[in-house]
Structure 1
């Protein structure tokens, strides 16, 4: 059995609380959820690329890592103006 699939299941289990924090809660909690969700999804896509031998998933993971970082900065800047 491939070891990437159980690791992916554990990582996606940790993604659920982060998504709930991003979707509900105060703006500061949403920012924290967004900051945690980006790397978790990036690592999940990298594990999918390793498990199934699809390098395209790795490209998507790298683009997502850059976009989630930029999105977190934009949301933090917006949040600092509203508080």
Structure 2
């Protein structure tokens, strides 16, 4: 998940949303709440993937169900 963040923001590596999505997906598949949330964010805004609000909701909800506070707030403030 941290490597995904580095790629998303160009921290120490060349910025690449596609690479960020790759690493977020790896983390999300292992049940990592922040990886799920970040991948959901990418789907919501179309960063490195096509916009898919259903997939965004699914991933962010998984993270929220694990107690991720950012995800809970995102779900409350955004429409899907």
Say whether the fold is shared (TM-score over 0.5). Answer: no
Higher gyration radius (CA): 1
Task: Please state which structure has a larger fraction of its residues in helix.
Answer: 1
Q: TM-score range by the shorter chain?
A: 0.3 to 0.5
- Higher relative contact order at CA 8 Å, sep ≥6: structure 1 or structure 2? 1
- Normalized against structure 2, the TM-score is what? 0.40
- Normalized against structure 1, the TM-score is what? 0.39
